[in-house]
Amino acid sequence: MFELKRAGEKTYYVDCPAKIGICLTDNGEAYLIDSGNDKDAGKKLLKLLEENCWQLKGIINTHSHADHIGGNGYLQRQTGCKIFARGVEKAFVCAPVLEPSFLYGGYPCKDLRHKFLLAQESEASELSDEAFPKELEVLSLKGHSFDMIGIRTADDVVFLADCVSSESTLQKYQISFLYDVQEYLHTLEVVEKMEAKLFVPAHAPAAEDIGPLCRLNRQKVFEVSGKMQELLKVPMCFETLLKRLLEEYGLDMSFEQYALVGSTVRSYLSWLRDQGKVQVLFEDCSLLWKS
C-alpha cells in the first residue's frame, strides 16, 4: 500500500502504514512530512516525486521513530534535501542508535538494532532554520514522543503524526507506545478542540472530525492505567507487572515488545507515581510497586 491521495490544492499524502505528507510550493518544490520506514520507502517516494515533476526541497520529521525517519538517509543522499526536526527529536534523527538505547535502557543488542527501531543516520536542522517553509504551521503534540510535532498546511490540512491511533490499531496492540502520559492526555485535549479541513493521522484514516478518535485513545489510556492499579493492589516488581499486563491483553512477548511495552509501562508508572496513585516499596533489594 503506497497510494498518493490529494488532501488540498497543494497538499497530498501517501497512504501507507505511516502516512507521509507532501506539501507543494508555487514553484513546484515539495516538502515531505516524514519519510517512511526504510530505504525502500525512500526510493518509492523519490519515484513518486519524479513522476509528478516535484523537486524535493526538504523533509519535516514529526518525531524520530524509525517508521517516520527511515527514508531520510536515502533521500538526503540522493537529493541533498534539508531535514528539519525539533529539540530532542533532532538529536535522535542525527544519531538513531539513541532510539533503541533509550527503549532498552542501555546499549541495545542485535535483537533491537534493526530497521524497525534503528533508522539510517541523516543530518537535520532545527525548525528555526531560515530554510524551514514559512507557510507551514508547527503544532506541538508532545506525549507519544519527546518533542513530537504536527503540521498545518496552507490548505488547512493537519498532519497529526502518532498522537491518535485507529480503533483497529488499539485493539491489536492494546498498550500503545507513550513517553509522557500527562503530556499525551494534554495533546489529546488540544487536538480534540482543533478545527481543520482534514486531519491526517499517521496510523488512522484521514478524517474531517478527529474528536471521536481522540476520545477513544483517551479511554484506552485510562483503561490501561486502571488495569495497572488493579493489579498493583498486590505489591509486585516491574517484570511481574509487565508479565501480568501482557497476559491480560493476550500479547506475545518478544524482545521488541519487551522494549516498547516495557518503556510505556514505566511511563505509566511514573505518571501514576507523580499523581500519588501508586507507591514504591524497597524490600530485599527489590523495588516493588503498589497501588
Alpha helices in the chain (DSSP H): 39-51, 66-69, 72-79, 87-94, 98-104, 167-173, 181-192, 211-231, 238-249, 255-274
Where residue 192 falls among pLDDT bands split at 50, 70, 90? very high
Selected from 3.30.450, 1.20.120, 2.60.40, 1.10.10, the CATH number assigned to the domain covering 225-290 reads: 1.10.10
User: Per residue in 36-59, pLDDT tens?
Assistant: 999 999 999 999 999 999 999 999
Q: What mean pLDDT do residues 151-160 have?
A: 98
pLDDT, residue 191, reads 98
Q: In percent, how much of the chain has pLDDT > 90?
A: 97
pLDDT, residue 235, reads 97
Q: What mean pLDDT do residues 140-163 have?
A: 98
- Cα angle for residues 146, 84, 119 (degrees, 5° grid): 65
Q: What mean pLDDT do residues 144-163 have?
A: 98
Under 8 Å between Cβ of 118 and 100: yes
Selected from 2.40.37.10, 1.10.620.20, 3.60.15.10, 3.30.450.40, the CATH number assigned to the domain covering 3-222 reads: 3.60.15.10
Which residue ranges make up each domain of the chain?
Answer: 3-222, 225-290
- Distance separating alpha carbons of residues 122 and 135, to the nearest angstrom: 24
Q: Please, which residues have CB within 8 angstroms of residue 43's CB and are 6 or more apart in sequence?
A: 74
User: Per residue in 56-74, pLDDT tens?
Assistant: 999 999 999 999 999 999 9
pLDDT, residue 27, reads 86
- Model confidence at 105: pLDDT above 90: yes
- Model confidence at 26: pLDDT above 90: no
pLDDT, residue 151, reads 98
User: Per residue in 223-248, pLDDT tens?
Assistant: 999 999 999 999 999 999 999 999 99
Nearest-10 crossing angle of helices 255-274, 238-249: 110
